[in-house]
Amino acid sequence: MRPITSLIKFKRGDHICIFYRDENSLTQTLAHYIAAGLQNGERCFCAQKQQMIPRILNSLEALGVNTSREVERGALELHTEDKVYFTNGRFEPQVMMEMLEQSIVDAVACGFTGFRTAGELSWAMDRNQGDTAALCDQIVGYETMVERSYPGKPAIGVCQYPAHRFPREVVQRVLESHRMAIEETMVSVNHSTLTLRSGDFLADIVTDRVNPGEAFHYVVQKQGSPEVLSWGQEPSMDGAIRLAENIMRDLGEKYRQSRA
């Protein structure tokens, strides 16, 4: 496999939600994300729509990944959503959480450096209409459990949501249950926004999917306020993330001191 350069380099303990508008760009994002995990010696586990599985495999092959070999050695698993989320015929968040935590342990025990996942959640809007609200509540509860569990673990998780399918209030609750979120911007599918959350503050980092690496612009605001508290650009995504997190941490400390 040739060296993989991914737009965003995630680290252990990260739990990210992706709100996508186009399956073509999602396929490319997932292929780079999975290939980077394989390159890092991680076990990669995916729960995807049936039609997405061959597309992901083809994109991985285009990146130089020998998918047959990776599957054979247990480093790459791609399953349909039903086989992962509905093993007992229904979605059970606690059962999923227990399976996820055991899978992390098993991956390390098998000699992998960690466990990397990518899961599609659009099925919540495809189920019986009367169950949609309850399923969304369960999903948010599950996401909250993952967010609390992942820090410090040798694991990285991505959750995928089609931006146009979920009600605004559900999207907001999903965002609140993640420290990190990626959204394709309304302006162009060629740009994505990585949103970081820290206490009462958030930072948006805008990336160019076509010409990555030229500049990464960040904007820091207090949640619920249009006022820009800090802004600028960095030559790398990692640099923009570190700077934005430092700014939010400093703002949070000043905010706590002002209320003391």
- Cβ–Cβ < 8 Å for 102, 95: no
For residue 219, give the H/E element and its range. Answer: strand 216-222
d(CA 65, CA 42): 14
pLDDT average, residue stretch 25-40: 91
What is residue 186's predicted lDDT score, i.e. its pLDDT? 39
**Residue that the structure tokens 């060296």 belong to:** 3
The answer to whether the predicted template modeling score (pTM) of the entire model surpasses 0.85 is no
Return the higher-pLDDT residue of 200 and 85.
85
Split at pLDDT 50, 70, 90, the class of 70 is very high
Lowest mean pLDDT among 53-57, 130-134, 171-175, 187-191: 187-191
Question: In the predicted model, is pLDDT for residue 129 greater than 60?
Answer: no
Question: In the predicted model, is pLDDT for residue 18 greater than 50?
Answer: yes
**Which of the residue ranges 78-92, 126-140, 216-230, 241-255 has the most confident prediction, judged by mean pLDDT?**
78-92
What is residue 35's predicted lDDT score, i.e. its pLDDT? 95
Question: In the predicted model, is pLDDT for residue 36 greater than 80?
Answer: yes
Domain boundaries, the chain: 11-180, 185-260
pLDDT > 70 fraction of the chain, expressed in percent and rounded: 88
pLDDT average, residue stretch 220-228: 86
Mean pLDDT of all residues in the chain? 86
Return the higher-pLDDT residue of 173 and 260.
173
Q: What are the tokens at 158?
A: 């991505």
Return the higher-pLDDT residue of 195 and 15.
15
d(CA 159, CA 118): 6
pLDDT > 90 fraction of the chain, expressed in percent and rounded: 45
d(CA 35, CA 64): 9
What is residue 191's predicted lDDT score, i.e. its pLDDT? 60
Split at pLDDT 50, 70, 90, the class of 209 is low
What is residue 38's predicted lDDT score, i.e. its pLDDT? 96
Class of domain 11-180: alpha beta
Return the higher-pLDDT residue of 28 and 54.
54
What is residue 185's predicted lDDT score, i.e. its pLDDT? 45
d(CA 7, CA 237): 7
Q: What are the tokens at 186?
A: 């309304």
Split at pLDDT 50, 70, 90, the class of 224 is confident
Measured between its terminal Cα atoms, the distance across the chain in Å is: 54
Return the higher-pLDDT residue of 164 and 118.
118
